[in-house]
Structure 1
Amino acid sequence: MTSLSFLGFRENGNSATMAVDLKNLCELRFLLLDGSLSSENITEFIEKLPQCSSSKLYYLILNDNSMTGIMPQVMGHLTSLTGLSLSNNSISGSISPGLQNFTSLEDLFLSSNHLSGQIPLLPRGLEILDVSMNFLSGHLHFGAPNIEVLILSSNKITGPIPEKFCELQHLSDLDLSNNSFAGELPICSSMPSLRSLLLSNNEFSGKFPSLIQSLSNLTLLDLSWNKFYGTLPIWIGHLAELRFLDLSHNMLYGSIPVNITHLRQLQLLNLSFNNISGSIPQPLSKLMAMAKTHIPTTNVPDWYVGWENNEFLDSLSAVTKHQQHKYAAQSILYIVGIDLSVNHLTGGIPDEMASLDGLRYLNFSRNCLRGNIPKNIGPMELVESVDFSWNSLSGEIPASLSDLTFLSVLDLSYNNLSGRIPSGRQLETVYDSNPTMYDGNNNLCGPPLQRNCSSGNSDPKHGNEKASGENSESLFFYFGLVSGFAVGLWAVLCALLFKKP
Structure 2
Amino acid sequence: MSELCLSFLFLLFISIPLKVTSQDINADRNVLLNLKQQLGNPPSIQSWTSSSSPCDWPEIKCTANNSVTEVNLRDKNITVPFPPTICDLKNLTLLDLAFNYIPGEFPPLYNCSKLQTLDLSQNYFVGPIPDEIDRFSSLVYLDVGANNFSGNIPPSIGRLSNLQTLYMYQNLFNGTFPREIGNLSNLEVLGLAYNEFSPMRIPQEFAQLTKLSYLWVAQTNLIGEIPESFNNLSSLQHLDLSRNNLEGPIPNRLFSLNLTIVYLFNNKLSGEIPRPVEAMNLLEIDLSMNNLTGSIPEDFGKLQYLDFLNLYSNQLTGELPASIGLLPALRDFRVFRNNLTGVLPPEFGLHSKLEGFEVSQNQFSGQLPANLCAGGVLQGMVAHTNNLSGEVPKSLGNCRTLRTFQLHNNRFSGEVPQGLWTTFNLSTLMLSNNSFSGELPSELAWNMSRVEISDNRFSGEIPATVAYWTNLVVFEASNNLFSGRIPKEITNLSSLTTLLLNGNDFSGELPSEIISWTQLTVLDISNNKLSGAIPAAIGSLPDLGSLDLSENQFSGEIPLGIGNIRLTSLNLSSNQLVGRIPSQLDNLAFENSFLNNAGLCADDPTVKLPDCNSELRESKGLSSRYLAIILTFAILISLAILVLSFFIVRDYRRKKHRRYLTTWKLTSFQRLDFTEGNILSNLTDNNLIGSGGSGKVYRIIINPSKQSVAVKKIWNSKKLDYNLEKEFLAEVEILGSIRHSSIVKLLCCISSEDSKLLVYEYMENHSLDKWLHGNKKSSVSGAGSVYHTILDWPTRLQIAIGAAQGLCYMHHECPTPIIHRDVKSSNILLDSEFRAKIADFGLAKMLTRHASSHTMSVVAGSFGYLAPEYAYTTKVNAKVDVYSFGVVLLELVTGREANNIDQNKNLVEWAWHHFSEDKPIAEILDPELRESSYLEEMIMVYKIGIVCTRASPSTRPSMKEVLHALRSCCPEDGHGTKKKVSNIDAAPLLGSATGTYLSSYKNSKKGSKEDNNMIYDV
Length-normalised TM-score, structure 2: 0.38
Shift of 1:28: 0.5
Shift of 1:384: 1.7
Matched residue SS, 1:22: helix
Counterpart pick for 1:64 among 169, 194, 203: 194
Judge conservation of contact 1:207–1:230 (CA < 8 Å) in 2: yes
Q: Distance in 2 between matches of 1:11 and 1:213?
A: 41
One-letter code of the match for 1:100?
Answer: N
Task: Evaluate the alpha carbon distance shift between residue 367 and residue 92 of structure 1 in structure 2; reply closer, same or farther with a 3 A threshold.
Answer: same
Q: Distance in 2 between matches of 1:113 and 1:37?
A: 16
Report whether the alignment pairs 1:170 with 2:299.
Answer: no
Q: For each residue in 1:52-83, what CA deviation from the matched residue of structure 2 results, as whole angstroms up to 9, or x when unmatched?
A: 5xx11110101111123222341144332111
Greater relative contact order, per chain length (Cα 8 Å cut-off, separation 6+): 1
Partner of 1:411: 500
Counterpart pick for 1:439 among 514, 519, 526: 526
Matched residue SS, 2:507: strand
Shift of 1:221: 0.2
Q: Distance in 1 between matches of 2:208 and 2:389?
A: 57
Q: Distance in 1 between matches of 2:186 and 2:172?
A: 23
Partner of 1:395: 484
- Name whichever of 82-91 and 393-402 sits farther off: 393-402
Matched residue SS, 1:92: strand
Partner of 1:349: 440
Q: How does 1:43-192 map to 2 (within 5 A)?
A: 45-47=178-180, 49=181, 51=183, 55-75=185-205, 76-120=207-251, 121-122=253-254, 123-141=256-274, 142-143=276-277, 144-188=279-323, 190-192=326-328
Matched residue SS, 1:161: coil
Q: Distance in 1 between matches of 2:289 and 2:421?
A: 37
How many aligned positions are there? 399
Partner of 2:898: none
Q: Distance in 1 between matches of 2:296 and 2:147?
A: 41
Q: For each residue in 1:313-362, what CA deviation from the matched residue of structure 2 results, as whole angstroms up to 9, or x when unmatched?
A: xxxxxxxxxxxxxxxxxxxxxxx21011100112211223x2x1201211
Q: Distance in 2 between matches of 1:177 and 1:251?
A: 18
One-letter code of the match for 1:84?
Answer: L
Counterpart pick for 1:255 among 391, 395, 418: 391
More helix by share: 2
Q: Distance in 1 between matches of 2:304 and 2:417?
A: 35
Q: Distance in 2 between matches of 1:383 and 1:21?
A: 60
Judge conservation of contact 2:348–2:371 (CA < 8 Å) in 1: no
Report whether the alignment pairs 1:279 with 2:415.
Answer: yes
Report whether the alignment pairs 1:424 with 2:557.
Answer: no
Q: Distance in 1 between matches of 2:162 and 2:333?
A: 40
One-letter code of the match for 1:40?
Answer: G
Partner of 1:306: none
Q: For each residue in 1:101-126, what CA deviation from the matched residue of structure 2 results, as whole angstroms up to 9, or x when unmatched?
A: 11111110011111111011215212
Task: Evaluate the alpha carbon distance shift between residue 286 and residue 375 of structure 1 in structure 2; reply closer, same or farther with a 3 A threshold.
Answer: closer
- Name whichever of 226-235 and 148-157 sits farther off: 226-235
Judge conservation of contact 1:22–1:50 (CA < 8 Å) in 2: no
Q: For each residue in 1:369-399, what CA deviation from the matched residue of structure 2 results, as whole angstroms up to 9, or x when unmatched?
A: 1111122122222222111111121112222
Shift of 1:268: 1.0
Runs of 4+ in structure 1 over 6 Å off = none
One-letter code of the match for 2:368?
Answer: L
Shift of 1:440: 1.2
Q: Distance in 1 between matches of 2:153 and 2:461?
A: 69
Max Rg structure:
2
Partner of 1:326: none
Q: Distance in 1 between matches of 2:496 and 2:412?
A: 28
One-letter code of the match for 2:227?
Answer: S
One-letter code of the match for 1:24?
Answer: R
Shift of 1:50: 6.5
Partner of 1:40: 175
- Name whichever of 221-230 and 394-403 sits farther off: 394-403
What runs of 5+ residues in structure 1 fail to find an aligned partner? 291-335, 455-501
Q: Distance in 1 between matches of 2:228 and 2:188?
A: 20
Task: Evaluate the alpha carbon distance shift between residue 204 and residue 50 of structure 1 in structure 2; reply closer, same or farther with a 3 A threshold.
Answer: closer
RMSD: 2.2
Length-normalised TM-score, structure 1: 0.75
Judge conservation of contact 1:197–1:222 (CA < 8 Å) in 2: yes
Task: Evaluate the alpha carbon distance shift between residue 417 and residue 163 of structure 1 in structure 2; reply closer, same or farther with a 3 A threshold.
Answer: same
Counterpart pick for 1:2 among 114, 117, 137: 137
Task: Evaluate the alpha carbon distance shift between residue 7 and residue 386 of structure 1 in structure 2; reply closer, same or farther with a 3 A threshold.
Answer: same
Task: Evaluate the alpha carbon distance shift between residue 87 and residue 254 of structure 1 in structure 2; reply closer, same or farther with a 3 A threshold.
Answer: same
Shift of 1:239: 4.3
Q: Distance in 1 between matches of 2:372 and 2:260?
A: 29
Judge conservation of contact 2:392–2:417 (CA < 8 Å) in 1: yes
One-letter code of the match for 2:242?
Answer: S
Shift of 1:131: 0.4
One-letter code of the match for 1:345?
Answer: F
What runs of 5+ residues in structure 2 fail to find an aligned partner? 1-135, 539-548, 557-1018
Q: Distance in 1 between matches of 2:284 and 2:148?
A: 30
Judge conservation of contact 1:8–1:32 (CA < 8 Å) in 2: yes
